[in-house]
Structure 1
């Protein structure tokens, strides 16, 4: 691939997307773009609108209301993009001018949620021959589906929250009494493939169960009904490929019923992050070892956040694994690494280095006979 005369590599940052986490993605993009080392990288900014259209963005004015989490929007653009498969340069064209964009060397996608975090964009970037930060197709797809995540973790002997999976076709006949007998009360109901606590409800009775089930099925065709774990919410950040490192542990303290979307992104002062979490060293070490094991078992690479519950009896239970954690100003993943000695610019630089490393490993695999 031809390199630019200035010796820099070209980084594409993708943001927005068609998921319910569109606005979170826009907020993540602000911090990622700000942290990129401009001595190493030239930027191509690619916004994806809610219709799924890719557009070339100008860093100076790509967002409307960037400082307001409730009103932030992707600005319109006259430069919609077409994708040209094949790799080795010329991956994107400006539809208005017909011009080919400068070849992209690496991509950093903050397309949170469906059609961004679920392996679809990762597969497209593979087809285009563009290295990218984050797990590959399989790891992304598996971790996006919480039902599949649990199945794989359980098979590996790793501790997960007890749950029942209900498909849309079976929702009308779901037996509340049988589920309560199995899982107890209260319950949590959540879409299988959503993030940022979208569509999640706490259930205390049968009426609440039906309402929560209907809400979750608005966002997915499959939902999880989980035991409500009475425990501390502990999170870890994992970074690396074959030999992943795990950050210090952090704890979420929420004033709300649970750590919902509004609590995370819209309300001031509703959630506190304690970093490092106040844990005995042996317990912290055990959590970090389980996080590393889960990361490997699920086929993760480059980065992921592994979330836990820790009960009063010190049982450690994996809640979920997020392969594209938030990069907003309040997000746990970069804060955990900052507390572990890696500041925001260093973290972004390391993630991009790992993307190149993973691409080199993939290129070494024989693809012909």
Structure 2
């Protein structure tokens, strides 16, 4: 019996099955390398009969990326096989099927429906318990300072998307309130003859040292925009932790209901395609784009119409860029604020907090690590790395 080569078509945007494709196979006859394998797959799905076998008709065989298996595909730096690579024992059964990544279609279709088909926009689902989410964030601009606020649902939602606080509780500083008030005022206050809104219609770049809460502020602001101001919000996050990669999530409205979708391991081209689709569907003024963790100069052109960027890097805006954007500096934590956080959220003892602050300085992320020794090691590694 001739051997078969098993494979799974996946979509580059969602990293899930391409148009619901199940694991399938092609005969090994005539397959000597990956190029032969791609040609045979393309031939299988490049005709109109029987129905459903034309799913690759808009692509050429050499556009398909082939990976050794799902584990390799899921690796942060996983690379496709070379066209000249031998098939050998690859794809020998459906448990270790080759992964065939189908690219996005770049032709501009005539209808929104065909756009969704070609770039495989993730399907939205209704968000559960929207009223409870609203309770957590709708009064963000009115939150009292020097106090802890509970955001358990937001924390749970964000847990698989890079996180947002360590515990579902957020300590609100004067600096947090000032920054949020400044941003919301710039976005929504109408200018009057006596009081011009100089920040109206401008992008915001929130800058500050690593680990001081910029990302948390951005995520909570995203939910506030959705539930208080009824905006459709797309958030794209750059993640650098171990076994983490960039992710994207969307919160918006359909038929009066709050809906959402999320994409793990979302590469920039995928994020751009999703953003462009939402713009075609709703209009650019109705889609708010928030970027977290990106260097300003590294932002792809397709994402430059963002509304808010949180970054740890310095940004030097050119004179022309200052017309459309402004920078806001987010300050490090003061010792007294960290001690209030430690007491109210973590129940740390004063002696322990003194040691923690000795190593962490104004970084709330470092201050809240499991032990003081962890903080010391993290700071030591960061300093050592900066010297090499």
Same fold (TM over 0.5): no
Normalising by structure 2, report the TM-score.
0.23
Q: Which structure has the larger Rg over C-alpha atoms?
A: 2
Could you say which structure has the greater relative contact order, defined with CA pairs below 8 angstroms and 6 or more residues apart? 1
Normalising by structure 1, report the TM-score.
0.24
> Which structure shows the higher strand fraction?
1
